[in-house]
Amino acid sequence: IHYRLSFFFQHPQNITIPTLPWLLIFVSELILSFAWFLQQACRWRPVYRTVFPERLPADDKLPAIDVFICTADPNKEPSVEVMNTVISAMALDYPPEKLHVYISDDAGSDATLRCTKEAWNFAKYWVPFRRKYGLVTACPDVYFSSSENDNGDYKGSEFKAERKKMEVI
């Protein structure tokens, strides 16, 4: 800003550049500097948010939630990935009677229908398994493919046996 401003205080014989473009550039730099200054305000005093789970209402007072999962083409969106999303939505920590998961398939493909039936059969075992052992990961694909196992608090033989059974299903 000092450089642009010093241009106007030069002797008139030393000015070889037209004044109007220089003035437009100076005004635009002032506007951008002001915008940058305003943008820095959020960094001066950042907002920290905390979660208070004890303030959540009881399960019977929670609202019903509808989750819509849209898919169009099973060739572009693999059905396995879509079903992992469906199972993850079904495994949310929310009262099951208030959670509704819908799949919208614009292509109406048979592959998506068959995969939905298989995902529903798998979810009957996955969701209780996840809740029983307190697993953080809701997506079965991420859970079984990760190098770090999210085994919750259990490391016993019962957990390992059930985990192997889940891998087979």
Residues in binding site for UDP-alpha-D-glucose: 76-77, 106
As given in the structure block, the two tokens for residue 79 are 């059905």
**Among 142, 23, 128, residue whose Cα is nearest residue 80:** 142
Annotated binding site: 76-77, 106
Angle between helices 79-90 and 110-133 (to 10 degrees): 40
Distance of alpha carbon 90 from alpha carbon 100, whole angstroms: 8
- C-alpha distances out from residue 67 to 5, 22, 24, 52, 120, Å: 57, 55, 51, 24, 15
